[in-house]
């Protein structure tokens, strides 16, 4: 009587399914790492766009106040309150304003803020007419 070995017996597999599981785990790990990095980058980009939107709204707000009061008629208290909002809403925010020389002339609002990390500075220039 002849005895044959079952080709699927545990002694013949020699760990191939363990290697398959390790490769599948590595592929899953790389995929999850990519997903996490993508979400992190999306969050950073969202924050940057929020600062740019804030800067635009701040510039529009000042331009509308200048239109309402006239170029030289904007009270100092309003100017300082606006600059306080710039500092509060933008990281290391700085503002420079070139006031129009005459009614109906154009002025420029420049807002600069620092991006976190080594990303440098961001800038928004807004030209307005009084």
pLDDT one-digit tens code per residue, 3-41: 666 556 555 556 678 889 999 999 999 999 999 999 999
Q: Pick the residue with more confidence: 14 or 125? A: 125
**Span 108-125, average pLDDT:** 89
HSE-CB at 29 with a 13 A cutoff on CA atoms is 6
Lookup: tokens for 128: 């307005």
From CA 71, how far away is CA 109, in angstroms rounded? 13
pTM value is 0.72
**102-116 as b/e: b if 16+ CB within 10 A:** eeeeebebbbbbeee
Lowest mean pLDDT among 17-31, 62-76, 79-93: 62-76
Kindly report the number of other CB atoms within 10 A of residue 127's CB atom.
12
**48 within 8 A of 115, measured Cβ to Cβ:** yes
**What is the pLDDT, as a whole number, of residue 7?**
58
**What is the pLDDT, as a whole number, of residue 68?**
86
Residue 106 confidence class, pLDDT cut points 50, 70, 90 = confident
Q: Is the pLDDT of residue 44 over 80?
A: yes
CA end-to-end span of the chain:
107
């Amino acid at each position: 009587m002849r005895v044959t070995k079952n080709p699927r017996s545990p002694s013949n597999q020699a760990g191939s399914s363990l290697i398959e599981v390790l490769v599948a785990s590595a592929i899953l790990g790389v995929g999850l790492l990519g997903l996490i990095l993508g979400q992190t980058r999306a969050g950073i980009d969202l924050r940057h766009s929020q600062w740019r939107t804030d800067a635009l709204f701040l510039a529009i707000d000042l331009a509308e106040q200048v239109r309402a009061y006239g170029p030289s008629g904007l009270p100092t208290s309003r100017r300082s309150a606006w600059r306080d909002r710039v500092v509060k809403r933008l990281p290391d925010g700085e503002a420079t304003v070139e006031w129009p020389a005459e009614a109906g002339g154009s002025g420029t609002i420049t807002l600069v803020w620092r991006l976190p990390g080594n990303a440098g500075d961001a800038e928004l220039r807004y030209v307005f007419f009084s």
